[in-house]
Amino acid sequence: MRWGVSDPLAALGVALDALEADLRSGQLDFIADHQRRIEKAIFQAQNSRLETSASARLADLKDRAQQTGRLMNAALDGMRGALAGLKNRQRFSSYDAKGRSGQIGARKSSFEIRR
């Protein structure tokens, strides 16, 4: 198993952590890689003998997966809004890394002729 984790549930937790960290930091380039790692960890968990105490861990992983799903939906909504704004040449609001609100989008161009 990758990440140096032999327990499939722990590997799934690590994969969810990595995906969540990338989503929160705006690193969307590796989502497909995360998806493959998560699917592999789920497959290995399904095909392994889990301890009887694993039900609490599975419930925690389910909650974390649902939270990560909400983060992915929020990221997709943001991307859709950005694309729609660019397509319609409208401005839209967003937040920078420090949490400050700002306008993003097309600015009016002005030309000046100098002689």
With a pLDDT cut of 90, the percent of the chain lying above it is: 27
pLDDT by residue (tens digit) across 45-86? 888 887 777 888 888 999 999 999 999 998 888 888 878 777
Q: How far apart (Å, rounded) are the C-alpha atoms in residues 41 and 12?
A: 5
Nearest partner of 79 among 19, 17, 28, 24, judged by Cα: 28
Burial 34-54 (b: 16+ CB within 10 A, else e): beebbebbbebbeeeeeeeeb
pLDDT of residue 109: 61
CA dihedral 67, 72, 78, 80 (to 10 degrees): -140
